[in-house]
C-alpha cells in the first residue's frame, strides 16, 4: 500500500515521461525552459505572492470556454468589468475524464461553428503555446480549476504553460465527482501532481495548490471539510508544495461560517509544516440557488458579508444566474461586483457577533477527533489512515457519490440554521460532541413540532432555493418561535 512519502526524483522523471506521451502536446514540455518562462513573468502574475501578500480578501470567479480567443476575451471582461483580482480557467468535462480525443473533436467543432461545444477550456489540447498565450494576454494570475481524478497530464502541461495555481486533490476531486475511482489510485496520481508542483517550487517557482473545500456542496459539516483540507494539505506538503490554500464552502449560518473559516486557518497553520504558507478560500454557497436573480444576489451578498467578517484570503464568487447553469459573462461579473460592494462596505466595521468563539471551539474539537482517527487508522501514516478511515466509515462525507466513501453520514440544520450531524453512521466522534448535536437537533424538532427525521434533511437541501435557510415544515416554526 502507498504511504505518505515523497516520490524520488528518478521515479518522478519516469512517470513524467510516461504521462507526457499520452497526448501529442505532452512532448513539448521542457522543464528547464518552463522555469525560464515562469521567471520571465512579472510579479503581478505570480499567483502565490499576489495571494499571500494581499491585505483583504481577493475575488475570483469561475470561467472556461473552449476557444483560446474566447477565453482571453472572457477573462479580460471579468478582469476589467468584474474587477476580479485572480482569474480562473475552468477545464472541460472530457479533459476531466482524460478523453483528450473527444476534447479535440469538441474544440475543432467549436472553432468551425463558433459555438461552445465544450463546457470548459481544454488546456491539454491547447498545449503549452495556447496556455502561454492566455497567461501573456491577461494582467492577473490565473488558476487551473477542474475536477479531474487523474490530473497528471493536465498539471504537466499547465505548469509548463505558465499557470501557477492548481485546484483539486485526491479526496476532494474524487469523493464528490466520480463513482469508481479508488482513493488509493487518486492519492497516487495526486502525489505526482504535488511532486511536480514541488519540483517547480524548489526552483523558485512556487506553484499554489488549492484543495477543493466544498466537497459535495450540500450541507457538509465544517469539521469534515476541514479534516479533509488538512489531509490534502499534508499530502501536498510532503511532496514539496509550499503555498497551500485550504477551502471551505458557505453553509449560510454566519456564525458557523465565520467560526469554520477561523478554525480552518488556525488548524491549517497548526497541522501543516512551518515552511508551508497556509491561506484560505471561501466559496460562496455551492448548493441549489433560488431561480430568481434578485434572490440569488441576496445569497451572494450574505457570502460577501461573511467574508468581510472572517476575512479569508480569497473568495470564489457565484453569479446571479447560478440556478440555470453556466452564466453569461455579464452575470459572472455582476456576482463579482455584488460581492465586492458588500465586502468593501462591511470590512472596516468592527462587527462583533456572539457565539463565534464557542462554535469555533466545537469545530476544532470535532476536527481533532477526525484527525486523530485518521492517524490511528494508518499507524501514523496519513495516506494509509485516510484510505482505512474512509473504508471503515470513521471518515465520511455526506451525499458522496463515490464508492470510496460510505456516504452514510447525514447532516441537518439546527434551530439556528447551523449544520449538525443527524445520522452519524460510523463517523468517529467523541460522545459528548454527539450529545451537543443531538440536543441542538432536538431543539429544532421541538420548535417545529415534529420528530427528527430524514424529512428535515430533505427540507434543508431545498431550503435556500426555496427562499429560507432552514427547511421548516410549511406554516410552522419560523423566526423567534424557539424562544
Shortest spacing between CB 286 and other proteins, in angstroms: 12
Shortest spacing between CB 403 and other proteins, in angstroms: 7
Shortest spacing between CB 288 and other proteins, in angstroms: 9
For 371, the grid coordinates are 484527525
64 is in an annotated binding site: yes
Q: Using the Cα atoms of residue 146, residue 151, residue 154 and residue 156 in order, give the sign of their dihedral.
A: positive
User: Which residues are part of the catalytic machinery?
Assistant: 96, 167
146 is in an annotated binding site: yes
455 is in an annotated binding site: no
First-to-last C-alpha distance (Å) of the chain: 54
CA nearest neighbour of 336 among 356, 352, 315: 315
CA distance 117 to 115: 6
Q: Using the Cα atoms of residue 171, residue 270, residue 316 and residue 89 in order, give the sign of their dihedral.
A: negative
Rounded to 10 deg, the angle between the 152-160 and 31-40 helix axes is 50
For 225, the grid coordinates are 471539510
CA distances from 81 to 76, 325, 337, 475 (A): 8, 21, 9, 43
CA distance 150 to 22: 12
Three-state secondary-structure class, residue 316: strand
Whose Cβ is closer to other proteins: residue 70's or residue 423's?
423
Q: Which residues contact 18 (CB under 8 A, 6 or more apart)?
A: none
145 is in an annotated binding site: yes
Whose Cβ is closer to other proteins: residue 83's or residue 180's?
180
DSSP label of 475:
T
318 is in an annotated binding site: yes
289 is in an annotated binding site: yes
Shortest spacing between CB 410 and other proteins, in angstroms: 7
Binding site for other proteins (CB under 8 A): 177-180, 216, 218, 398-401, 403, 407, 410, 423, 451-455, 457-458, 461
Shortest spacing between CB 454 and other proteins, in angstroms: 4
DSSP label of 56:
S
Amino acid at each position: 500500500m502507498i504511504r505518505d512519502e515523497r516520490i524520488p526524483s528518478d521515479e518522478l522523471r519516469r512517470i513524467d515521461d510516461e504521462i507526457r506521451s499520452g497526448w501529442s502536446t505532452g512532448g513539448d514540455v521542457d522543464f528547464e525552459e518552463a522555469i525560464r518562462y515562469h521567471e520571465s513573468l512579472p510579479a503581478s502574475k505570480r499567483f502565490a505572492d499576489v495571494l499571500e501578500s494581499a491585505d483583504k480578501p481577493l475575488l475570483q470567479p469561475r470561467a472556461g470556454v473552449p476557444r483560446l480567443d474566447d477565453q482571453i476575451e472572457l477573462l479580460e471582461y471579468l478582469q476589467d468589468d468584474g474587477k476580479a483580482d485572480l482569474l480562473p480557467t475552468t477545464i472541460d468535462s472530457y479533459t476531466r475524464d482524460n478523453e483528450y480525443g473527444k476534447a479535440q473533436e469538441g474544440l475543432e467543432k467549436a472553432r468551425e461553428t463558433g459555438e461552445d461545444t465544450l463546457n470548459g477550456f481544454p488546456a491539454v489540447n491547447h498545449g503549452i503555446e495556447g496556455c502561454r498565450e492566455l497567461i501573456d494576454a491577461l494582467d492577473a494570475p490565473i488558476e487551473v480549476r477542474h475536477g479531474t481524478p487523474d490530473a497528471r497530464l493536465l498539471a504537466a502541461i499547465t505548469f509548463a504553460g505558465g499557470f501557477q495555481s492548481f485546484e483539486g486533490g485526491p479526496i476532494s476531486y474524487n469523493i464528490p465527482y466520480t463513482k469508481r475511482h479508488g482513493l488509493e489510485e487518486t492519492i497516487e496520481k495526486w502525489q505526482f501532481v504535488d511532486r511536480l508542483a514541488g519540483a517547480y517550487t524548489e526552483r523558485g517557482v512556487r506553484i499554489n495548490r488549492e484543495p477543493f473545500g466544498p466537497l459535495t456542496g450540500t450541507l457538509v459539516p465544517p469539521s469534515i471539510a476541514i479534516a479533509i483540507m488538512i489531509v490534502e494539505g499534508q499530502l501536498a506538503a510532503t511532496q514539496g508544495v509550499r503555498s497551500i490554500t485550504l477551502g471551505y464552502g458557505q453553509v449560510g449560518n454566519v456564525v458557523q461560517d465565520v467560526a469554520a473559516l477561523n478554525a480552518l486557518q488556525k488548524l491549517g497553520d497548526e497541522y501543516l509544516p512551518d515552511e508551508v504558507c497556509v491561506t484560505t478560500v471561501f466559496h460562496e454557497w455551492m448548493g441549489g440557488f433560488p431561480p430568481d436573480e434578485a434572490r440569488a444576489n441576496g445569497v451572494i451578498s450574505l457570502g460577501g458579508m461573511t467574508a468581510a467578517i472572517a476575512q479569508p484570503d480569497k473568495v470564489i464568487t457565484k453569479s446571479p444566474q447560478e440556478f440555470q447553469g453556466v452564466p453569461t459573462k455579464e452575470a459572472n461579473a455582476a456576482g463579482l461586483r455584488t460581492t465586492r460592494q458588500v465586502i468593501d462596505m462591511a470590512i472596516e466595521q468592527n462587527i462583533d457577533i456572539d457565539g463565534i468563539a464557542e462554535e469555533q471551539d466545537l469545530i476544532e474539537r470535532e476536527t481533532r477527533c477526525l484527525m486523530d482517527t485518521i492517524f490511528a487508522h494508518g499507524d501514523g501514516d496519513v495516506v494509509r489512515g485516510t484510505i482505512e478511515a474512509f473504508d471503515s466509515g470513521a471518515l465520511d462525507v455526506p451525499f458522496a457519490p463515490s464508492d470510496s466513501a460510505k456516504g452514510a453520514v447525514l447532516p441537518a440544520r439546527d434551530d439556528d440554521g447551523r449544520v449538525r450531524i443527524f445520522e452519524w453512521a460510523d463517523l468517529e466522534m467523541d460522545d459528548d460532541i454527539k450529545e451537543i448535536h443531538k440536543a441542538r437537533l432536538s431543539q429544532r424538532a421541538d420548535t417545529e413540532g415534529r420528530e427528527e427525521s430524514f424529512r428535515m434533511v430533505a427540507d434543508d437541501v431545498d431550503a435556500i432555493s426555496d427562499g429560507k435557510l432552514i427547511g421548516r415544515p410549511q406554516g410552522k416554526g419560523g423566526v423567534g418561535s424557539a424562544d
